[in-house]
Amino acid sequence: MKVNKLLMEAKERSITKEEALFLFNSTHEMPQILNLFDVASMFCFCL
């Protein structure tokens, strides 16, 4: 599964632990890292 596709899906639904680990291990470029933090921060404020 591609990183960008999964990040887009993560904005719409909760991802699994396996998907989160995949994102963490596969995100190496700054734009993807910033997008990952952006998506993650969406859920921090919802709790």
Please give the pLDDT value at position 1.
57
Query: What's the whole-number average pLDDT of the chain?
Result: 85
Higher pLDDT, residue 23 or 47: 23
Gyration radius from the chain CA atoms: 10
Say if pTM beats, i.e. exceeds, 0.85: no
State residue 46's pLDDT score. Answer: 55
Residue scoring higher pLDDT (4 or 43) = 4
Q: What is the pLDDT of residue 15?
A: 87
Please give the residue range of the domain that contains residue 32: 3-44
Q: Are 39 and 11 in contact (CB under 8 A)?
A: yes
Q: Round to whole Å and give the CA distance between 32 and 47.
A: 24
| pLDDT (mean) for 2-14 | 89
Our count of domains for the chain comes to: 1
